[in-house]
Structure 1
Amino acid sequence: MPTLDPTQLETLVVIAEEGTFDAAARRLHITPSAVSQRIRALERAAGQVLVRRTTPCTPTEAGEPLIRQGRQLRLLLAEAAATLKTGDTDDTVVDLSVVVNADTLATWFRPVLDEVATWDRTALRITVEDQGYSADALRRGEVLAAVTSEPKPVQGCTVEPLGRLRYTPGATPALVERYRKGRGIDWSAMPMIVYNEKDHLQDEVLAAHRATRPPVVHRVPSSHDFHEAIRRGLGWGMLLDAQAEADLASRTTIPLPGAKPIDIQLFWQRWRLDSIALDDLSEAVRRAARSGLRPTRPL
């Protein structure tokens, strides 16, 4: 494996973040020609094309591991500079990039924000992605850590269980009565709400009742507004315990007849990296999970 130039690696990372060579040049305060020269030199050293020259630019399969290495090097250098606290490093910021699902960010993860708010010169960069897909961001080198439903560690990462999110299929009493069928409901007719095209929790409930998606499927891509749409009778959906407890108690919304709750086991995956900042973030996530999630079921 050839020795890779740190400056060239950082340029590759910035291109992936900015999307174009010109935007990367502006951020790095160099010319687009200099950016191209750095990437060509890195590609010669690697012996492979690392960046697709598309709009936006994207890393090739060979480029993704180098982006991971570049981000790891960036984190370690920022931590080292912050430790030295010299006059030249007063502006050093440690970037902690993580990916979480929307319901996590809206509920149990918030104490993590409280903790990071007390850390000097630390920027938390959150990407929102469905828990079933968030591990992909780790594979691509886009983030340092992820809250995911994937129990198998991504190469180069560690994994640990956090706990369970519970969802209850629910709707307003009026909507349930409108689509009541005998002792149950007409699953294939009652309007349904999904978060986005990656949200298949409702489909698991339908499959359990041997039903297909109804003709009307609403899309509400916001955790808070998804809950509000159910409360307003737009359709039925999966109510997150932390958000729906008061509504279920007051019967503003009710569980759907014959439907069982679904538990989603969450895991914390992070790079296997000797980083104080990443260690501190991981500990903050563990504390928040212990307080806000249902315990992990024993194997």
Structure 2
Amino acid sequence: MLPHKSCEAFLAVVETGSFEQAAIRLHITASAVTLRVQSLEKQLGHTLILRERPCRVTAMGQTLLEHLQHQRLMEQNLLQQLKGKSEDSSFYKLNIATNADSLETWLLATIQPTLIQEKITINLMIDDQSQTHQLMETGVVNACISSEASNMKGCITHKLGAMRYLMVATPEFQRIWFKNGVTRESLRHAPAVIFNDKDQLHSDVIVKLFGLNIQSYPYHFIPSAAAFSEAISLGLGFGMVPEIQIQNELKQGKLINLIPSAETDVNLYWHHWKQQSEPLKILTHVLVQQAQNIMIQN
């Protein structure tokens, strides 16, 4: 079996980034933390942590980290099921991964009454909808919103519905860059706005419709859902935005549907472990039911 104190020291170093901060968290000396981590490395026969600033895990350290995080999450779930909540708090805590667009548009308003009524706190982790599933696989979160439809072993999946994305821009931007229409040639010169390097939606649509890869045109990376939409509204570029987020702007003519054929529905799913705490069961029920009224059902 893995030694508990050594694993605790390893986790503390990885999560705080240094042996000194890990010592403060564990209320022991930095030398004691070092000895525990060295003992664990000797037992496993691998270097687990690169002594840098901040400290980083090796490949084998990452494997151990994922195992320990998953183990800790399962233990937390078990304690919540047995006790209802942790000993030092009247609130339940849930770790949830979500895509930024869901967080920006509908997620918090949907679960807000339940969080208050059931005394739930949430630790949200943000990633692209195609990536959040990996946080479930590594055991970092209790549940996630993902575009991945397939079940993981030990998990249950619920279809929430689809978010519709439109390729939009301001009327002024259209007049400057696409006065003769949106063509392959005009797209080579017009700046795009893309959420981040994991966001493939914009580039996939342009490749499909015009045969241009992302290296063929200028673009901004703006990794904030609110700032991303604002950048398009300010005329910095054109991009794929959830329809639900810009309904008013479209009605008022501040934004236009630049390429109607680029309209794309992205299906989203709610994944959670089969063994889930009572608060997560309640949250799951609310989320799945409310999503039927918010998202496109196809």
1:171–1:230 contact (8 Å) kept in structure 2 = yes
Return the TM-score normalized by structure 2: 0.83
Show the counterpart of 2:288: 286
Q: Deviation per CA, 1:173-202, whole angstroms, max 9, x where unpaired?
A: 121122236453422221100111212211
Q: Take 1:286 and 1:38, find their aligned partners in 2: how far apart are those partners?
A: 45
Letter in 1 for 2:117: T
Task: Check whether the contact 1:96–1:123 (CA below 8 A) recurs between aligned residues.
Answer: yes
Q: Deviations over 1:89-139 (max 9, x none)?
A: 35365321111111110111012134213333x321011111111112222
Task: Give yes or no for the alignment of 1:127 onto 2:129.
Answer: no
Given the alignment of the two structures, is residue 28 of structure 1 paired with residue 29 of structure 2, yes or no? no
Spell out, residue by residue over 1:16-66, the C-alpha distance to the aligned partner (whole angstroms, 9 max, x if none). Answer: 433334333322333445545655676788x56594344334342244123
The answer to whether the 8 A contact 1:108-1:291 is kept is: no
> Amino acid of the residue matched to residue 28 of structure 2?
I
1:52 partnered with 2:49: yes
Q: 1:17 aligns with which of 5, 10, 15?
A: 15
In the TM superposition, residue 249 of structure 1 has moved relative to its aligned partner by 1.6
RMSD between aligned alpha carbons? 2.9
For residues 196 and 189 of structure 1, do their structure 2 counterparts lie closer, same or farther at Cα, with a shift above 3 Å needed? Answer: same
Stretches of structure 2 lacking an aligned partner (at least 5 in a row): none
**Contact kept? 1:50, 1:62, Cα under 8 Å:** no
Distance 2:122 2:16 in 1: 18
Secondary structure in 2 matching 1:235 = coil
2: CA distance between counterparts of 1:14 and 1:279? 30
Q: Tell me the matched-pair count.
A: 288
For structure 1, which segment, 214-223 or 262-271, has the greater mean C-alpha deviation from structure 2 after superposition? Answer: 214-223
Going by fraction, where is helix more abundant, 1 or 2?
Answer: 2
Give the corresponding residue for 1:96: 94
Query: Displacement of 1:152 after TM fit?
Result: 2.6
Aligned 8 A contact 1:13 1:70 in 2:
no
Query: Using a 3 Å threshold, how does the CA distance of structure 1 residues 76 and 289 change in structure 2: closer, same or farther?
Result: same
1:142-188 Cα offsets, whole Å, 9 max, x none, are 22211111223334332222111110001111211222364534222
Distance 1:278 1:96 in 2: 7
Q: Indicate which of 252, 255, 258 corresponds to 2:257.
A: 255
Identity value in percent: 27
Query: What code does the residue aligned with 2:212 have?
Result: A
Alignment of 1:131-280 (within 5 A): 131-180=129-178, 182-185=180-183, 186-207=186-207, 208-213=209-214, 215-257=217-259, 259-280=261-282
